[in-house]
Structure formats: C-alpha cells, structure tokens
Chain A
Amino acid sequence: MSTQSRDFRGVIRPVGVVVLGIGVMLALCALVAMAWDEVAPDLNRPQGGSQELGLSAAIVLVLGGFLFGYGRRFVSDRISRREALLAVSLIWIAAGACGAVPFILGASMSPVDSFFESVSGLTTTGATVVTDIETRLSRPLLLWRSLIQWLGGMGIVVLFVAVFPNLGAGGKHLFRGEVPGTTAEGLRPRIAETSFALWKLYAALTVLEIILLKFLGLDLFDSVCHAFTTLSTGGFSTLDSSVGGFNRPAVEYVIGAFMLIGSVNYGLYYGLIRTGHWRGLVRNIEFRAYVAIVVTSVIFLTILNLDVHDELLTSFRYSFFMVATTISSTGYGTDDYSVYSSTALAIVLLMMFVGGCSGSTAGGIKIERAVLMGKQAIAQVQKSFRPSAVQLVRMGKVSIKTQVLADVASFFLIYMGCIAFGILFVTLVDGVPVPTAFGTMLTCLSNMGPAPFHQGPDNFAAYSAGSKLFFVLAMLLGRLEFFTLFALFLPGVWRR
C-alpha cells in the first residue's frame, strides 16, 4: 500500500474566511469601543485600547485576506469528513491566535499569556492569567474579551456554517466537528438553517439578559459584557472579584438563571418556540435529569452551607449561584468554595464533572452521557444474572444504539485518560501538589474556569509557559469534545 499523504489544502480557505471574520469582529469591536469611550467614558478604568484593537483588526484582516486568497486555489467541491476535522481544529487554533493579538498589543501581555487568555475565552472556559483585571485591561479590551467568549459559546464553526449556506453535506461534517452528538441537529433539514436558528436563539437570549441587567441598575458596559459571558457559560468578568463584586442579590439571581438557561439543549427551546408546546421540553429525559440535579444540589448545598452562611436566605443565595455557575461550567464567583465542608465541595466537584445538557453552551461530560452511562451500567449488571434478556438502553422512548453507547464510553475513557495524563504532566513541569493539578485539568477539560484546590489566588498566572500551552490544548479538547482534535493524531487521517 502506498503511504501518499492527502492533499488538505482545501481547508485553507475556510480557515481564511474565519480569520477574516475575526478581523471584522475586531474592527467592529474597536469602533464600538471607541464610540463608547467617546460618548460615555469611564474614568475609573484604564484608558485607551481601541487603537490597539484597530491595529489588531488590521493585522488579522491582512492575514485572513492572505489565507483566503491563497486558499481560493484549492477549493474542493465538497468538504470531506477528514477535511472537516482538520478545518474545525485549525479554525479554533487560528481564532485563538487572532483573538490573542489585542492582548499582546493592548495589555502588553506575553504571547503565551495572550494565547491562553484568548483560547480560554473562545472555549468558554473563563480561566484567566490576568491578576489585575481592573487596572490592566481597558474597556475596549474587556469588551473584546467578553465578545470572543460569546462567539465561542454557540461556536464559531456553527456561525460559519450559518453564514455560508452553500456548503452542502460538508457543512454537516463541519457542524459535527464542533457540536458532536446529534442532539442539536435536525431542527431544520438543512444544516445552515439549523445553525442560523441556533444563533438567533442565542442572540435573542443575550439581548434579553442585557436588558434585564441594565434594568437592575448595572452599567450598560457591565451588562453587555456579562450577558456575553453568561449565555456562553464562559465566565469572564469585568471585575477582579467577578460577579460577587456587584454584591447585588437580584443581579446574581438573574445571571444565575441565565447560566442555567444557557446550559439546556437549545434544540429544546427551538422546539418550544416552533410548536408552542412545553411537552417536548418537559418530557425530555436529559432536561428532567438536569432539573433534578440542579434542584437537589441547591437544596443540599443550602443546608450544608448553613455552616458558612448562617442565615438560610443568604445560604440559598450563594448556593444557588454556586450550583448555576458550576453545572453550567461558567465559573463566575460570588462565594469561596475552599471554605466549604468536604461534602459540599464534593457536590461542586461532581457538578463540574457532569456539566450541562448536550447541545448547550456548557462544558463537562454532559448530562445525557452521564445518564446513558448510568443506564448502560445497570443494564450490564442485569446481564450478569439474566444473560439472555434483551436489554435496551432507552432515552425516553428512543432506544439507544450500541454504537452510541460505545461512543459515550470511549468519551468517558478519553476524558479520564486526559485528566490522568494532565496530572502527570502538570506535577512534573510545575511541581504543584496532585489535588491542584487535578483541579486545573478538571477545570480546563470541562471549560469551567476557576480551579479547585488552588494554591494562592485562583488564576493561572503563576504557571510556566509549557503548562499554559498544555492547558490551552486541554481547553480546546474539552470544547471540541476530544474526537475532532484527537482524530488528527491518528495516521489514517493523513495517509491515503
């Protein structure tokens, strides 16, 4: 057999288009920020930044134009599965790199730090290397930081597919590279319309939250930034002390609610709007499991946290927000879980593992997978004493194919394998204790943000460049749910 390598130059153009898109976003962001500073300046924050943003836009646009122009020669008729995997991976890495440029220029951060910050934003992780947000980042940069999180939340590839409807079946392959599983598909027969519908919903919910936050008395700038990072379940804040810094219960409840809304399968909302029936939403097994987990966790945490917050209502306020921010993998903070009791901390850790619903912007293993694994485990145990019984794993009325179950099982294995490898890597390179290394891997893979068991201030500034790049990889793996990126490491993708 010959081992000729495949021609993958067909992916240059889509990557170029996305880079151009990021450039346009940068330019828009620069213009808006400039106008904002002009009309309603905020003297409490660092000034400037929009010029640097504009310069970044120019650099990124030139780069994108070059890629697009070069790639135009290698346009393939139809994007194959292999090309789609590569394209999605490259798009995310390129978008991360482009998103980093303003941080290098505008906040004099090192390239590695900027790349970390940018990827952390795009993957909606929300982990930061900036120790002094309020004194280092000007408003244009903060806006950009929130905007990339918003873009990454519903997915840049999904946006790409929505904007370029003529990709045919190739669009479907791209979509699957970014949103694995089939749950979000099939809203509309055509993938471009599905993507567009998802983005419209997402944007509408964001606008709604901006209005609510503004109505509750937040500054418009803070409302916009926080709405961007709430629905994307990202977690970047404009304050060093995160949402806790506002110290307003109403704001916390609204943001908490929207985090919970953002971690439900968007397909269910679409069904609700289209049919007008609540049935599809309420009968959905994953949604029910999600609600059950949220409600029980809130109750347990509220009771357990009475040790920390003496009053019931206060305990409920902080516990509700903690549950919302953790299960949605957002990572805003109003409360310090390091002082929680061990049981309460364990609940928080478990929620971080599980994450939100499939087809949402949340990270983690996803509730659907957790439910399937549980049902599969029960079925297997039953097989031990009744081997010839037909045991179908069902999700509602639909029986799940063994192929899908195998998929879920391998997902879980890869997830655990990544955590194990990550602990080895981080303890070796940075010499931190095992729980700390575990916390960082968990937070990166589930796109959460803050790391449990952290020593010192809860950010990633102190890690070495090698570890930071490793975390970047972990965040991308978590966001793209492993298969897309890992496939590129198999030789079969590259060889003929």
Chain B
Amino acid sequence: MKKTILVIEDDEDILESIATLLTLHNFSVRGIVQTTDIISVIINLKPDLVLTDYILPGLNGGQICQMIKRNVLTSKIPVILMSAYHKQAINIGNFGYDAYLPKPFENKKLISLIVKLLE
C-alpha cells in the first residue's frame, strides 16, 4: 500500500515539483497551500508523513509541527520542516520536528529522508 505524504507549501511551483517527485517514487501525495483547519485535515487524511514549508500564510510550519506533535491522534506522524531560510535566521527553535530540510534541496536527499523516517 502506498504511503501518503501531506505536503504543505504555498508556492505552487514547488508544490507541484515535490508532488511530481514523490509520485514518481510511488508515494501518494496530498498537497495544500492553505493552513486553515490544518489539524482537522491531518486527522481526516491520516498521512504517513508531513512535509511542510516554514513560511506560510497564516500559521507557520513550526506552529503546525507543534500542533501535530501535541495531538495524540497525530503525534506519531513524522514531520519534515523545510525552508529557504537558514535555521538561525528564522530562529526555528524546538518545535518537535523530525528533520529539517533547507531549500533548495537535492531530490535524492528528500526521498532518502522520507524513506528513513517511514521505516
């Protein structure tokens, strides 16, 4: 059965690129650009992994990560936080994410990171 990955990214071009890449690697991809009612979306979707951008309209990636990790229904879901900002520049802090992926990234690195977290 295909693993479902939720991608939260406000830049549609990046979202499409990632979706194409993950589909190619046999993942089921669900992409969203808005963070409205994000926790309900996750609870309903029950993704195997969440890949989120940090800078988003509305809630940011760190806050989404915290919500996922604090909710018993979603806390087991691995979260990858990605950003074009350097870690220190945006002072990401400890939101409980499982991995940080700086943009722009190597496709191989994203895939290996996802595979590793899904094991």
Q: Do A and B bind each other?
A: no
Query: What residues make up the interface of A, taking CB atoms closer than 8 Å to B?
Result: none
